[in-house]
Amino acid sequence: MKNGIYGALNINKPPGITSHDAVDRVRKLLKAKKVGHTGTLDPDASGVLPICIGKATRMSQYLLEADKEYHLIAKLGETTDTQDAGGQILETKDWRGVTQAAVRQIIQRFIGQIEQIPPMYSACKHNGKRLYQLARQGQWVERKPRRVVIHSLKLVSMELPLITLDVSCSKGTYMRTLCADVGELLGCGAHLHKLVRTRCGQFTIEQAVLLAELPKLIAEDRLMEKLYALDQILAHLPAITIDEESTHRVGLGSPVLVSGILAVSSEAIAQGAKVRLYNCAGKLLAIGESSLDFVRAHTPERHKIAFRPKRVLV
């Protein structure tokens, strides 16, 4: 890999390998020191896995917060200890009475803000240990529900005992738990049978690169065509253009006042939301955080602090 190269690769992870395996393969192919993924995919899952390279790894935490989309198949009638096809079957029930109307009615109840209890076979921590480590030791612990948002949940097809769903959701949403919860409400139980992540932020599966394609791209010196620049990686964040004085302030780590804002890409930005800060020439200066609820139609007092830089890039 050429010295100083950085950006993100939109990798289509195949099933059968871990996200860490995918990162390791990219690291070895590019001979890169800093490489990291932006959101784990289970080994049996496939699809979009953005991998950051070089100084772009500093942006990975912000991509973790991006919304995701999934194409999944749930199998009715079987619950497993891992909530997916790789686990041991705990219970079987008759699924033959399930109708398409019932499925459509049930999945509507999951749209919006919901609470999920993280599965035991997950990377969440309990007293410093990963839950999956405790589960493998035969330990079962109480987990606190987490709030997540499901933007849309659509029934694609139904060939019982399999149902296929398309899901658009916030970060931290467990597809395995969604399948198990839907199955519980249907009265027959269910587990995740197959999962493909189709989008992570602005990264889509249509534009993703197969791991097997990387050696050829490198040999043909075409890797740069597939690299996403820093501002492309963060395209899901609102963009803020600031004046010259504010540009200088951001370079010193100082906040941006409302009076220093020249343009805003979103109609409304909630307090605490992450944003991209640009100068007048269109150069990405920093990742900032909103200090107030900013609504374009109701601009607050010009002397108030609007954004605080969280990661300065210049």
- Which sequence positions are flagged as catalytic? 42
3-state secondary structure of 230: helix
Instruction: Report cis status (omega within 30 of 0) of the bond before 161.
Output: yes
Interatomic CA distance for residues 306 and 284, integer angstroms: 17
3-state secondary structure of 227: strand
Measured in whole angstroms, the distance separating CA 188 from the mean position of its chain's CA atoms is: 30
Kindly tell me the burial class for residue 67, based on how many C-beta atoms sit within 10 Å of its own C-beta (0-12, 13-18, 19 or more): middle
With a CB cutoff of 8 Å and minimum separation 6, the contacts of 31 are: 1
Interatomic CA distance for residues 87 and 121, integer angstroms: 10
Return the ∠ at Cα 269 (arms to 266 and 271), rounded to 5°.
165
Interatomic CA distance for residues 250 and 269, integer angstroms: 19
Interatomic CA distance for residues 224 and 204, integer angstroms: 18
- Biggest CA–CA distance in the chain, Å, is 68
Any idea which residue has 């009475």 for tokens? Answer: 97
Tokens describing residue 235? 């395209």
Answer whether 70's CB lies under 8 Å from 197's CB. yes
Q: What is the CA radius of gyration of the chain?
A: 22
End-to-end, the C-alpha distance of the chain in Å comes to 24
Interatomic CA distance for residues 57 and 43, integer angstroms: 22
